[in-house]
A and B are shown apart, each in its own frame.
Chain A
Amino acid sequence: MWRDAVLVCSKDLRIEARSRVGLNQVVPFAAAVLLLFGLALGPDRHALEPAASGLFWIAVLLTVVLAVQRSFAVESADSARDGLRLSGLDPAGIFLGKGAAIVVQLLVLEGLLTIGVALLYGAQLSGGLVLLAACLTASIGLAAVGVVYGAVSSGVRVKETLLPLLFLPVAAPVLLGATKAWNAALAGTPAHAGIWLSLLAIFAVLYVAVGIAAFGPLLEDS
């Protein structure tokens, strides 16, 4: 399972590195979202700074949808999906691999967005360890749910509209937990983030387990 996961993960990351879709489209999209939030809440820094972590995570949530769609668009071209099924790889391994690739992309994106938030919204970055822990646990949870729903909606014609509808409400606790953890860290009280980090961790563990169990049947017949 783990070997298969590493294989799939490195395959996905290699495709991303070569196609540069993430760099050329997803990152600029996230930057545009940050700018638009700035316009909406407008030029007053007193309004933007307290909202910074929430806006950051909304931007992340929106890009997860794109990343997941991209991850499954790669499989749908040239019947790559059939190839994947024929390859004899463990479905759980495929799930973990695709999820891990998305987590890596998300972490890179979150790093860039953090810089953006600091520059545009004037957020004072502090409690780096909590920020990083929140990013990691939240990304794992989001990637796990995203990959399962990506597989659920990958075979269908209306996937572009279906995936956000399915994914975003489920991700609500992650948005809450990650925002609260970031707020606590940015406010200089990282001790308050503990409960939210544990929530994020529970979410991640739960949905990784669901994904491992469900991915086989999902891949089998769609």
Chain B
Amino acid sequence: MSRLDATGDPVLTERDDDVTSGAVAFGETAPAASPPPRAATHASRASVREDVDDATTTEAGPADGGAAPSAVSPKAMARGSAPRAARSDRVVRAVGTAALVGVAVTVWLGLWVTPNAVDFGNLVRLLYIHPPLAWVMFIAYGVATFSSLLYLWPRTRHARFDRLAGASAEVGVVFTGLTLVTGSVWGRPTWGVWWTWDPLLTTTALLFVLYLGYLALRKVPGDRETVARRSAIAGLIAFLDVPIVFVSVSWWRSLHQAPTVDVANGHLYVHGSMAWTLALGFVSFTLVYVWLMVHRYRLAVLRDREDDEGLDAALAERWAEGTR
């Protein structure tokens, strides 16, 4: 993929900053892209193709051989010549590798190295993933809400915050689902039931449904700015609901038990290897979150750009046909 980094196309270069570092405002790039002079589009496409052909590896050949114009192909759009883009690519790859290694080591430590707990036996091994999953869930929703706020605030209104909110909420929903499942698996042997109407559990379940609704709303097609604005408002309403839900469910069900957290703290001081495994779990799942979110964010950028440029590229193609 990095061989496309050799592309000398200035249009692609400028836009690629937005993919990775968000340096170019979305609103500024769109109009710049909208009236592509026929010659320029041709030239840029030619230069992309040329560079790919020059590349020593053959892998890129067939990908470019297709009829699709390179100017709109996602690969070409995602990777650019800007050194910054290449650098951030490397960073993302490093985060991904670290996340993978971290999770693998957590699994190894959690399943083979750490001892059984006195009270919970093998069950304690769930502890190494359940709290980190819940932690990531909170980070994800926090980031989503903060981005929604930034989007709604007129001075910081920018499409990048909308994408960030969407990406983060999406990852958050996945982690909420995993939190519920691991919690349920924990609950069955310890409490004897798959589900209990504990405030934490109930709030998490409602959180899951709330954000499923939010994601459904995001998927509804419409003018991009409208979608962004209504999603931000809906996201904010959903988030504001969470503390009220928690308080109300706590009052409703006052036999509040937070065994997982207490157990975790208890073991943190007792067993060194367990504490390290749990800490590693937190770190590696956070890295997984970052990696997933960056990719969702990039995908959102590409989708938006496809919307913007797909038509322009097609029009340019059509014009080119007419002159032949």
Contact = CB atoms under 8 A, between A and B. Distances in A.
A148 B237 contact: yes
Interface stretch (A19-27, A83-91, A166-174): A166-174
Interface residues of B, number: 31
A181 to B, nearest CB: 11
A209 to B, nearest CB: 10
B248 A199 contact: yes
B226 A202 contact: no
B152 interface: yes
A13 interface: no
B206 A169 contact: yes
B222 A155 contact: yes
Contacts of A218: 229-230, 233
A217 B229 contact: yes
A170 B230 contact: no
Interface in B219-239: 220-223, 225-226, 229-230, 233-234, 236-238
Range of interface residues on chain A?
Answer: 20 to 34
Given A152-B217, A165-B213, A173 B233 contact: no
A172 B245 contact: yes
Nearest to B152: A217
Contacts of B194: none
Nearest to B208: A169
Given A166-B213, A173-B248, A210 B226 contact: no
A109 B221 CA distance: 35
A169 B213 contact: yes
A112 interface: no
B211 to A, nearest CB: 9
A158 B213 CA distance: 12
B220 A162 contact: yes
Interface string B241-252: 100110111011
A6 B17 CA distance: 51
A33 B245 CA distance: 25
Interface string A114-152: 000000000000000000000000000000010011001
Nearest to B247: A199
Chain B interface main SS type? helix
A221 B226 CA distance: 6
Contacts of A156: 220-222
A98 interface: no
B233 A148 contact: yes
Contacts of B221: 156
Contacts of A222: 222, 226, 230
A58 to B, nearest CB: 15
Given A149-B237, A221-B223, A221-B229, A162 B216 contact: yes
Given A148-B233, A149-B234, A206-B240, 7 more contacts: A153-B220, A156-B222, A162-B220, A172-B248, A176-B248, A196-B251, A202-B244
The 9 A-B pairs with the shortest beta carbon distances in the complex, nearest first, are: A173-B248, A165-B213, A169-B209, A166-B213, A173-B244, A176-B248, A152-B230, A156-B220, A169-B210
Interface of A: 145, 148-149, 152-153, 155-158, 162, 165-166, 169-170, 172-173, 176-177, 180, 195-196, 199, 202-203, 206-207, 210, 214, 217-218, 221-222
Interface of B: 152, 206, 209-210, 212-214, 216-217, 220-223, 225-226, 229-230, 233-234, 236-238, 240-241, 244-245, 247-249, 251-252
